Structure 1
Amino acid sequence: MQQTRVPMTADISNEKGLLAERLRPSLKTENLLLGSAYKIWNRDLLQWRTSHKFHLILWGPPGSGKTTLARMLGEASNLSFVTLSAVRDGVKEIKSAVEKNPGSLIFIDEIHRLNRAQQDTLLPILEYSEAWIIGATTEAPTTELSAPILSRVRNIYVSALNEKDIEKGLIHSLNFLKLNDSKFALTISDDQKLTEQTIPKIAKMSGGDLRFALNLFENIIHCKTEDEENDVYKNSLKAFTNKNHYDFISAMIKSMRGSDPDAALFYAIAALDKGEDPLFILRRCIIFSSEDIGNSDPQALTLAVSAYRAIECVGMPEGRIPLAQCVTYLASTLKSNKAYLAIEKVRNWRVQAEENGYSIQPPIELTVKGKDKYKYPHNYENSFIHFEYLPSEVNKIKQQEKIAAYLPSDYGVEFKLKSRLADLWKNPKKMNKKV
């Protein structure tokens, strides 16, 4: 039976925006900075604020304080502060911002979303300080930003908050509501529950993301029943777990493996719309094209790599088009994991050989020293000559198992490979005819 209780607060969501935004630290409340953001403000950014400005990349997990630090620098500098997002803004918007606000502070959120060509447009701005650039990213700059960009900026890592810092932020938000919102009323039991149960629970769920914690806290205090509160916890946990970052991609991969292009594309676009990096999606496609398609359709790997390069070239939102082409093709084409399975098979041969003290040194005919003894296959019919290419002891392990590591499927190009290998090795000594 649903238990009814008095809500902790009336609707306050329309009063000056969401709680997380209302509580964002500023110059007046810099003491509210938590975790590494506090140290960065008073140490790494002290020079920027007092004597010497520099272009800056703030990187770290969500909700760690990157945007707050950028905004506070804007306050401290008395420069025009322009906010852009690489998710929606490209070369045109960046150039326009600089032209309309020369010498301003340009904050570019999700800066890693700019492709290489778009990043190049920043170079003269950085080089001649046409504006001061501050970028924010959740990705490592050394892997996502070009070398010319990296040589012109300073990278500062903003680490995730610990549970104690999250609890401090939540307690501050509770006190803020008590003091600043006349509609916010708590019973003694509600106040005790918030401080002793709710806040520690949210801190543990937050994963170091203060914004997530504040948003969840704001949702919880609006609940009118215990069941509603439990549902908020349940849904928020599912939405925020680290695993969830991969949920849509996992579903996309399984849909491609199941040859359902509609479902695969649905999950790819859902992930994209929720903020997933398109290059991350394509990296998974590249792996899939070898792991699950392999030699049944070698074109799949070529297409996946080409789609990755295409998005690097054109960026978003146009990049969704080659992404869609890639995902639907991979889902529709033939499947084979035989090349992937062969990896562990041959690795097991190596392990067995070394555990038994066997040599895994290649036959001398295959080494530089044995070049005079090496028989060049192209000098023979079908470009093949019978020879035991494996180390002799490893070949014995293979013969004991009576099965090859790579067993081509009966699908697509791989079926042709299977037929060729069968013809060559069925009676290999008959194939040693010179041409």
Structure 2
Amino acid sequence: MEGLFDDASLRSDADLPGSGSLQANTHASAPLAVRMRPRTLDELVGQPQLRAEGSPLRQLIEGRQSMSVLLWGPPGTGKTTIAAIVSGQTDRAFVEVSAVSAGVKEVRAAIDHGRADLTRSGRETVLFVDEVHRFSKAQQDALLPGVENRWVTLVAATTENPFFSVISPLLSRSLLLQLDSLTDDDVVEVVDRALADERGLDGAFQLDDEARDHLVRLAGGDARRALTYLEAAAGAAAAKDASTIDLATAETAVDRAAVRYDRQGDQHYDVISAFIKSVRGSDADAALHYLARMFEAGEDPRFIARRLVILASEDIGLADPTALTTAVAAAQAVQLIGMPEARLNLAQATIALAVAPKSNAVTAAINAASADVRAGKIGQVPPHLRDAHYPGSKTLRDASSVGSSGTEGQGRVDYIYSHDEPFGIAEQQYAPDVVLDAEYYRPTSLGAEAAVKERWERIRRIVRGR
């Protein structure tokens, strides 16, 4: 094992005096985000589902259980911190493997090192693998013996969906814990704590409310990014011999102008409304402007994606049947990739939906059908359409077929199987009598819906015997 931790792809604190976690690597010149890393689970900001009494993570830490965990969540939500807490609060050694530069050899060496420590001194090792999704299948396979035999406590972190990026054997041997993006209030707590804490800025600076809001918006739920921006803003204030960080200083330090945008207020609703109406109105340039404003203000990209999925059916429908596919694909890309890269997927979907032909026929159709149902137009299902698979239905069907006037057979034999008819369409009553002549779907002649309209009108004439 000589020279194991000389490799840049591995980092260990096992040989540092009195250290038992990543906290031992902090020093006065370390980045603010590193110095302010929580030391205990109770200091962790956000993730209430993981900190709750009796939660699997708390059991792992307080019960000293040797279970491996897979942490899945956006950047800056505390994945590395949780690994360090697991190590520090349970007095386990901490070894970090870089998924970017480590190979199978380094993974096996780290596990062997942990196994040797366990055999020699009984001390367990936390093996932290950041961005485990970057590991190949062979590299992930190399983790299995250590996890299965509990030679190490694996804490693996990923920003991508582990069901796509992590091999099944490793998933089945690990406890999957999902982390959420921090809320604005969470980020404010992180920033304010760093301003006052002796490990942070130790009360040397005051932060204006406008500057705080600007940093929180730019952080986008990422605590590490918030602290990085705060450190830069403090440096800019110190250069001017100022003890107050105002909005102008914060803008200069992070090279980003403040965007007037309140994610809980009027700006949130006004901008998303303008965005949707621009897409509906087919103005791709205006839509991109509002999309960029939301990006720069730190709007939740999942919210934007959801609105595009709704619009694809509400305002485009069958005028471009691929619109919904495009919007759903963009929403999935947001989940799989995350920001900032997912901005490209959302921009592509925005342009595609803006330039697509528009139709609200789908919206009008379901609204009209719902209005009739709410008005009480709910008739009996025609007998020949009723289910004929439950026990007893054959008796009722046979009774009906011989002309029993007292009982309408269920799933009667006079049901016409569409596939036996020319063109696969049968003349047959499908709707209840009360809405027999209703025409809910009225397709337009726009885009691909023009062909749908022509086909639907022919089909309706055949089905209704016209």
> Which residue pairs with 1:128 in the alignment?
145
Alignment of 1:396-407 (within 5 A): 398=438, 404-407=439-442
| Contact 2:443 2:452 (8 Å CA) reproduced | yes
Instruction: State how 1:261-300 maps to structure 2 within 5 Å.
Output: 289-300=312-323
| Match status 1:418 vs 2:440 | no
Change in CA separation of 1:240 and 1:325 when aligned onto 2, cut-off 3 Å? closer
Change (3 A) 1:348 1:74: same
Contact 1:82-1:106 at 8 Å conserved across structures: yes
Structure 1 residues 318, 59: CA separation in 2 closer, same or farther (over 3 Å shift)?
closer
Asked whether the equivalents of residues 377 and 383 of structure 1 are also in contact (C-alpha less than 8 Å), the reply is yes
Identify the residue that residue 22 of structure 2 maps to in structure 1.
Answer: none
| 1:154 matched to 2:175 | yes
Give the corresponding residue for 2:198: 176
The answer as to 2:97 corresponding to 1:82 is yes
In 1, Cα distance between equivalents of 2:201 and 2:339 = 45
Q: How many Å separate the matches in 1 of 2:43 and 2:341?
A: 41
Tell me how far 1:301 sits from its aligned partner. 4.9
1:314-344 residue CA offsets vs partner (Å, 9 max, x unmatched): 9999999998877665554433232243223
Q: In 2, Cα distance between the equivalents of 1:19 and 1:152?
A: 35
Deviates more, 1:95-104 or 1:413-422: 95-104
Task: Report whether the alignment pairs 1:392 with 2:438.
Answer: no
Over 3 Å counting, the alpha-carbon distance change for 1:263 and 1:78 in structure 2 is farther
Provide the rounded CA distance (Å) in 1 between the counterparts of 2:174 and 2:45. Answer: 25
SS at 1:82 equivalent: strand
Q: TM-score, normalised by structure 1?
A: 0.58
Q: Which has the higher helix share?
A: 1
Give aligned pairs, total.
384
Contact 1:123 1:148 in 2 (8 A): no
Residue pairs, 1:91-240, within 5 angstroms: 98=107, 101-103=110-112, 105-109=127-131, 114=133, 124-129=141-146, 133-136=154-157, 148-156=169-177, 170=192, 173-176=195-198, 184=204, 222=237, 228=248, 235=258, 238=261
The answer to whether the 8 A contact 2:429-2:464 is kept is no
With over 3 angstroms needed to count, the CA separation of the structure-2 counterparts of 1:238 and 1:74, relative to structure 1, is farther
The CA deviation string for residues 203-245 of structure 1, in whole angstroms up to 9 with x for no partner, is 999999765775676677647686648989x948848769999
Are 2:215 and 2:229, in contact at CA under 8 Å, matched by a contact in 1? no
User: How is 1:242-391 mapped onto 2 (pairs within 5 angstroms)?
Assistant: 257-259=280-282, 289-301=312-324, 329-353=352-376, 359-367=378-386, 368=388, 369-376=410-417, 384=425, 386-391=427-432
Q: Provide the rounded CA distance (Å) in 1 between the counterparts of 2:298 and 2:153.
A: 26
Secondary structure of 2:358 counterpart:
coil
Structure 1: stretches of 5+ with no match in the other structure: 1-14, 399-403
CA RMSD of aligned residues (A): 6.3
Alignment equivalent of 2:69, drawn from 56, 69, 72:
56
Q: Paired residue for 1:69?
A: 82
Pick closer, same or farther for the CA change 1:100–1:428 going to 2, 3 Å. Answer: closer
Q: Is the 8 A contact 1:167 1:203 kept in 2?
A: no
Q: What displacement does 1:142 show?
A: 8.1
Unmatched tracts of structure 2, length 5 or more: 1-27, 115-126, 389-409
Structure with the bigger RCO (C-alpha within 8 Å, sep 6+) is 1
Does the C-alpha gap of structure 1 residues 329 and 240 become closer, same or farther in structure 2, counting only changes over 3 Å?
A: closer
Closer, same or farther: CA 23–255 of 1 in aligned 2, 3 Å: same
Q: Which residue of 1 aligns with 2:36?
A: 23
Q: What's the TM-score once normalised by structure 2's chain length?
A: 0.55
Identical counterparts, % of pairs: 29
SS in 1 for 2:71: strand
Which moved further from structure 2: 127-136 or 142-151? 142-151
Deviations 1:399-425 (A, max 9, x none): xxxxx3211111233212223444565
Task: Rate the CA distance shift 1:352–1:171 in 2: closer, same or farther, 3 A.
Answer: same
